[in-house]
A and B are shown apart, each in its own frame.
Chain A
Amino acid sequence: METAPFLIEIENPEPDTTRLTLSGDFDYTTSADLAAMTPTLMTSALRVLEVDLTGVTFIDSSGLATLIHLYHAAEEHPAEMRFVGMTPYIAHLFEVTALDQVFNLPTSAA
């Protein structure tokens, strides 16, 4: 299988808001990138962390773990982390792992 490269884009639409746009295969081999980046995202101005997963083609348990880690980091900061986009595949995955009851999901996909 050819894997889609994992990419992370960071934008600041508002001074207190950071938006992460993830795309590609988010798995065991690629999740370390986001894990390493997590502490640097927690700037003093940060209040809202938006995560867009629309372009993510695959998530495995390591990818999920990294998202949970990010969620906890935001919670402690404190900042509100919300998901602003995802595919039905990811929505199903969140449902199976019952993370839909923990995470802030867009109403359309949940």
Chain B
Amino acid sequence: MDSVTHAPSTEVLRAIVEAAADGVVLCDADGAVVLVNAAAREMVPGDVISLLDRAREPGETYETALGDRLLRVRREIFGIVHQAWYLRDVTNETARADALRAERERTQFLVEAGRRLSASLNTRRCARATAELATGLLADAAMVVLPPGGLRRTAWLRSSDAGLEEGDIPVAHADQVPGLAEALAGFPPVPSRWLDPHQAPEWLLPAGFGPVGHLLVTPLPGNGVPAGALVLARREGGAGFDDETETLVRVFAARAGAAISAAVLYQEQSATNAILAGDLRPPPLPVVEGLELAGSLRSAQQTALIGGDFYDALPTPDGPLVTLGDVCGKGPRAAVLAGQVRHSLRALLLLERDPEQLMHLINKALLSSYTPRSHVTLVLAAIHPGEGVIDLAVAGHPAPLLLRADGAVEEVDARGTLLGAIKSGAISLRTASIELAPGDLLLLYSDGITEAFGGPTGREMYGSDRLKTALATCAGMPATAVVERLEQLNSDWLAGGVFDDRALLAIRRSR
């Protein structure tokens, strides 16, 4: 080895280089190897020169494989004339980084899974989220088979690079996939199962998926309620499910199962509620020759939209009997009583059609009711569609308003006692009979309209005068438009404030 003028002696260089913890290969200006330190010799027992990439600029770092090891190499200027190549074995470092990355990926996956699965209380949305989440990190295709809702067929959702697919299979077909029927039964708990890919029936995979390499069926544990099963498929040639993935699948399945089973319970309850509440909501109004009927009901209880205000239009051979009323109280309890009043009316109508007599009968029925404080205010309007005559009885309720075709507004002169309130059973009623000319309109409303607090200052009661003024601007409008406009003006008055149950019903004689 030649010594170089004005450069440190080889001994000095050796002393410096041997002291380094990294492997060092020192070259002279021509690129000839001057020194290889002990660390470098240990790292690279054989030919070290072939690892040195001379195309690299000084300061550059690159990684290169040496058998099953990974070396990181950096080229540097060393002193005045020498070039140094620093070598470091980063095999373990990289493995740790890979493991860390994989761990981070799994954590992120579970965080995202938690976010998506906790959002919905809908079975299908939860199943969709489960399938879509599982596609990618866990599998090439993921299918959620939902617990059978009935005896015959069961629904599934599948996500893959073909997009989202949905369908159902006969429950009996679950037997074609080993472990699936048990997983769907939900009890007893069964572990995940590997399947021989050849055992997969055609319906299990998207069309054109290609040969399957790995198939895993995992039950979705549902806390006592069946929550279905997750089927994961990976293509042939791809990696299999290692232990870490299987653990991840198990944790994921537990979360997905919890979300789906909660959704199943919610769906059952809300379906029951919907049936019960449906009966308490206002019915569609009948079509009556020569008349327009339109109603609107806003409930203070905004979830199921039921409350103490109600209306109904009951057909009789002589023409419809229209009713609008308000039971004492709010929410479901009031709605149930309102439903009872409507049913009583329907039954009583078989015997009696005169509004005044009906009021007495309902009053008696309410007084004998088991429900405490069954107080009801009510308007009954027996319509004779041919002549446009309406017989009215009003009990404890604001008197209806009449809008004449020319825009004049009158209050109907009828009033009477609140029903179900006075134990003696005596009520006094002043009934009225009015005549609707073509284009005239009769408006029934509840006090939730007139007692709405709001306005420019937010503290003012809407009041019957404002309602009358608003109604006067509605001359000539169809009944639906009148009801819509009055409701809108009232809502604007409330300006988003708290409101009580509100009901409006308009009867208009067609022109």
The 8 Å CB contact of A1, one of B308, B422, B447, B498, is B498
Q: Would A61 and B329 count as touching, CB distance under 8 A?
A: yes
With the chains together, A58 CA to B453 CA distance in Å?
11
Complex-state Cα separation, A68 to B423, whole angstroms: 9
CB pair B330 A28 closer than 8 Å = yes
Q: Are B459 and A65 in contact (CB under 8 A)?
A: no
Q: How far is the CB of B479 from chain A (nearest CB, A)?
A: 25
Residues of B within 8 A of A102 (CB): 417, 422
Given the contacts A60-B451, A60-B500, A97 and B422 also touching, CB distance less than 8 Å = no
Among candidates B308, B330, B397, B454, residue contacting A96 with C-beta atoms closer than 8 Å: B397
A96 to chain B, nearest CB (A): 6
Tell whether, in the assembled complex, residue B377 and residue A97 are in contact, meaning their CB atoms are under 8 Å apart: yes
Q: Does A98 contact B (CB under 8 A)?
A: yes
How far is A96 from B413 in the complex, measured between Cα atoms in Å?
11
Interface bits B445-466 vs A (CB < 8 Å: 1, else 0): 0010001011000110000000
Interchain CA distance A97-B451 in the complex, whole Å: 15
Who on chain B is nearest to A89 by CB?
B461
B286 at the interface (CB under 8 A from A): no
Instruction: List the A residue with the shortest CB-CB distance to B430.
Output: A98
Quick one: which of A50-91 are within 8 Å of B by CB? 58, 60-62, 64-65, 68-69, 72, 75
Residue of A nearest to B464 (CB): A92
Which B residue sits closest to A68, measured CB to CB?
B421
Set of chain A residues within 8 Å of B327, measured between Cβ atoms: 61
CB contacts (< 8 Å) of B25 on chain A: these are: none
Interface string of B304-337 (1 = CB under 8 A from A): 0000100000000000000000111110000000
Residues of B close to A28: CB separation below 8 A: 329-330
Shortest distance from the beta carbon of A13 to any chain B beta carbon, whole Å: 28
Total interface residues on B, CB under 8 Å, equals: 32
- The answer to whether B451 touches A61, judged by C-beta atoms less than 8 angstroms apart, is no
Interface contact A97-B459, CB-CB below 8 Å? no
Q: Is the CB of A1 within 8 A of B375?
A: no
Give Cα distance in the complex from A75 to B422, angstroms: 11
Chain B stretch 391-411: residues in CB contact (< 8 A) with chain A: 395-399
Beta-carbon contact of A61 and B417 below 8 Å: no
Cβ-defined contact, A61 with B375, below 8 A: yes
Q: Mark B113-148, 1 if CB is under 8 A from A, else 0.
A: 000000000000000000000000000000000000
In the complex, which residues 315-369 of chain B have their Cβ closer than 8 Å to any Cβ of chain A?
326-330
Task: Determine whether the beta carbon of A68 is less than 8 Å from that of B375.
Answer: yes
Give, as a whole number of angstroms, the nearest-CB distance from A28 to chain B.
Answer: 6
| Interface assignment of A99: CB less than 8 Å from any CB of chain B | yes
In the assembled complex, 13 residue pairs joining A and B whose CB atoms fall closer than 8 Å, in A order, are A1-B454, A1-B458, A60-B500, A61-B447, A65-B375, A65-B421, A68-B421, A96-B397, A96-B415, A97-B396, A97-B397, A97-B417, A102-B422
Closest 3 CB pairs of A and B: A98-B417, A97-B396, A1-B453
